[in-house]
Amino acid sequence: MIPAGAPLPARSPEPGEVPPWREPPPPPPGPPAAPGPIVHRVQVELVFPEPDPDPPGLLSRLWDWLCDWRLLTAVTAAVVPWMAGDSPVTAWAHTLAECRTEAGTTAAYVLAISAAGGAWALDRHTGRWFPRLLLVTAVIGSTGAISLFDPITALTGVSP
């Protein structure tokens, strides 16, 4: 835009050319800086974190798990006969043996594996004493579903 009262230019300004009617910007205050190299200094301090201690080995974790008070008391409560002369393990083993006799080998195995898997999941989720008792009972009591002829039958197909 041409200010009011300014004469019209003979031609339009070229690209990048400042129009003649514009006033140049005022110079910055203070003396101009002398041209020269600009030096940037960066200081980096490398701080290495303390290394994590080695995770315990498998045997160490297994030993800690076996010495856990919940497991010791759960095994004791599962195998000691306190239910009218029977223990929870013998009651579960008897139940699975009856299931094997009445419903078949597959049903007994499915029942034993389902109970052990469910008890294991509950124990992993809660970590409390009663689910550990259920896990010990399900795992040890699963022997009621097993017959010594099962591996022979599985390998050869011959049943007793």
What is the tens place of the pLDDT at every residue in 59-111? Answer: 888 888 777 888 889 999 999 998 888 999 999 999 999 999 999 989 999 99
Instruction: Return the structure tokens found at 40.
Output: 């940037």
83 in a structural domain = yes
Q: Does residue 41 lie in a domain region?
A: no
Within-domain flag for 33: no
127 part of a folded domain: yes
How buried is residue 96: exposed, middle or buried, by Cβ count under 10 Å (0-12/13-18/19+)?
buried
Rg (CA), the chain: 43
The answer to the question of residue 119 being in a domain is: yes
Minimal CA–CA distance to 129: which of 84, 67, 68?
68
Is 132 among the domain residues? yes
Examine residue 31 and state whether it is found in any structural domain, yes or no: no
Summarize pLDDT for 113-152 with one digit per residue, the tens.
999 999 999 998 888 889 999 999 999 999 888 888 888 8
Predicted TM-score (pTM) of this structure: 0.58
Count of structural domains within the chain:
1
Using CB atoms within 10 Å of the CB of residue 95, give its burial: 0 to 12 exposed, 13 to 18 middle, 19+ buried.
middle
Q: What is the pLDDT of residue 116?
A: 95
The answer as to whether 52 is a domain residue is: no
Query: Position of tokens 């052990």?
Result: 116
What is the extent of the structural domain holding 99? Answer: 69-156
